[in-house]
Structure 1
């Protein structure tokens, strides 16, 4: 007996979108935008990405509806038939994490979202009323915004084990982005193992380098990670060597191996090789910037 293929948007109609709000009001237009991300027409997909991003990730702010799109974006990214999967993962990252960069790592969600601990459904309703009906600004506004930020993060954290598989994706942009995503969620044994297992071949260099940076912030007391990163100081691609050295500096500080110091000292000699154009990692900081950060961490800032 045959079964119907599962759609990434199964369950979409079970969400009461009309009762949720995004940056511009009712979220009843979100289902259509999610569907359009699967369109065969590239321009329609581009427009949907821009509109959906503007609705649920508006200038870095998350909204009441934001957490509800996270599972659907994850399902789309999981499906190899989805077009522009890297763009979907990029949007997922934006909704789950906002504008956070490596300065927020290692990430401590309990501290980051503490302001939202006492937010109630009444507080949310009051803020929504103010946002869309221009009443006097309520005192809970900032805390409610933090709660929406938290809810989007927690929606992703609850299914972050799904991101682990993407580190071995044949789309190298997806693999590199997944490796960066994993830096923000609890370091499960499975996630750490996958980040360590990515090969250092030229074909996988972007995912390997991105995984190195994530490992700099995860499981700080795990010596097997230090051993893997130390071995990668001799990798065939300088970007992989450098990210391994940066991660070791973050993890070990002044105890970084001499080979790591040597790689950091050479970074300026490889500027063309590790530029954002030549080595486009899904991290906000440039590789030269990471090298400077590493030197600072070991007390050798230029």
Structure 2
């Protein structure tokens, strides 16, 4: 119990009722943190689920989020506790939200800090005037209604508070990295993998993290840990690492080869010569056909989706081949798993989103036509999602399934 009490030291010194989470005062957070140290498995699961709902509600962070970080970090480092990898995963979520928003290039922390600094200085009336102009620029009535709703729900004070809470949670986790990075040598492979995943999101700490991550590759035998470390190195590193990462392209484990290719694609996109090769493309394309296992934490374990976004980084050299591979991957998915792949395929096929719509179907190139038919072939389990329709609409395409099929000259169903 001594170690558990140490993990929770100072918990009662915080006035949690004065802090907010998703549902109001955060006075229930201390009990949930204590329950994470319980011997009862169900009690821990219930508490962790409640914490995600309270301090990471649908990706949002709150003042109570940063306050919970020191306790979660100490629990993650307390070898007497179970489930420590889950606490590291929660810390990563509190820091960056949903990671797909930052992939495949990694988080732009400097830009994030700059945008918040600029937002602090802006006057609400100036932002509302920009919203008015944005609404007036809508190209159709449906888009106008969406924009009007965004304008009506804009609350400058609430948005600023939310942005402050997000960056506050990020910096709270960042402050714990020196202690947590030692967990790269933990005896539990799930903890080692979760630690590497956590370190990947802090480029400002790369000078310390990169040597530790590279050292962790020496002697590591667990494929999921090796893969996680490789992707983390790719997100934090630069050109001098290309040769070492490329050596993993010949690994026996497909997951490790995917990770090396993912890291090299990212380094190639940042200007590292020699990072983008035919072998890199081949490994990413193979994942579109058949994602390897075991599961890794990046992109919520959706390797096909992550590979699709990585393939967009290879467009300068392999655009046509990448589009074919991603279209194949799209045909094998449904539901939310289709979202990142559809976005990647559309970007490869048409470049940036097209506000003014596309030409007649017959004027499109063969590969573009194939992608449109693939989109039209996806079932209602995909088209029923507003997120998917918004992705398609962003490229000026029909955003209803039957309209897409009609555009492609496909038969009615």
Specify if TM > 0.5.
yes
- Looking at structure 2, the residues matched to 51 and 267 of structure 1 have their Cα atoms a distance apart, in angstroms, of 37
* Superposed CA offset, 1:201-255 (max 9, x none): 673221211111122221324x1x2222022222232211221122112212584
The residue correspondences of 1:168-247 to structure 2 (distance < 5 A) are 168-185=185-202, 186-199=204-217, 203-221=221-239, 223=240, 225-247=241-263
* Structure 1 unmatched ranges of 5 or more: 121-135
* Superposed CA offset, 1:132-164 (max 9, x none): xxxx98531111110111110110111222332
Q: How high is the TM-score relative to the length of structure 2? A: 0.61
Partner of 1:14: 13
| Residue 298 of structure 1: how far off its partner (Å) | 2.5
Describe the SS at the equivalent of 1:81. coil
| Residue 74 of structure 1: how far off its partner (Å) | 0.4
* Structure 2 unmatched ranges of 5 or more: 122-152, 324-413
Is contact 2:103–2:309 with CA below 8 Å preserved after alignment? no
| Residue 27 of structure 1: how far off its partner (Å) | 1.2
Partner of 1:43: 42
Of residues 243, 252, 259 in structure 1, which corresponds to 2:268?
Answer: 252
More helix by proportion, 1 or 2? 2
Q: How high is the TM-score relative to the length of structure 1? A: 0.82
The residue correspondences of 1:60-139 to structure 2 (distance < 5 A) are 60-101=59-100, 102-103=102-103, 105-117=105-117, 139=156
How many residue pairs match? The answer is: 280
Bigger Cα displacement from structure 2, 153-162 vs 91-100: 91-100
* Superposed CA offset, 1:179-215 (max 9, x none): 1211211243331012112237673221211111122
Describe the SS at the equivalent of 2:160. helix
- Looking at structure 2, the residues matched to 219 and 246 of structure 1 have their Cα atoms a distance apart, in angstroms, of 13
Q: CA-atom RMSD, angstroms?
A: 2.9
| Residue 104 of structure 1: how far off its partner (Å) | 7.1
Bigger Cα displacement from structure 2, 102-111 vs 44-53: 102-111
C-alpha spacing 1:145/1:270, structure 2 compared with 1 (3 Å): closer
Is contact 1:167–1:207 with CA below 8 Å preserved after alignment? no
Bigger Cα displacement from structure 2, 185-194 vs 66-75: 185-194
Partner of 2:31: 32
- Looking at structure 1, the residues matched to 275 and 57 of structure 2 have their Cα atoms a distance apart, in angstroms, of 43
Bigger Cα displacement from structure 2, 241-250 vs 103-112: 103-112
Is contact 1:245–1:261 with CA below 8 Å preserved after alignment? no
Partner of 1:128: none
Is contact 2:237–2:267 with CA below 8 Å preserved after alignment? no
**1:155 aligned onto 2:172:** yes
Greater RCO, CA 8 A, separation 6+: 1
Partner of 2:157: 140
C-alpha spacing 1:30/1:239, structure 2 compared with 1 (3 Å): same
| Residue 31 of structure 1: how far off its partner (Å) | 0.8
Structure whose CA Rg is larger: 2
Is contact 1:36–1:44 with CA below 8 Å preserved after alignment? yes
**1:281 aligned onto 2:281:** no
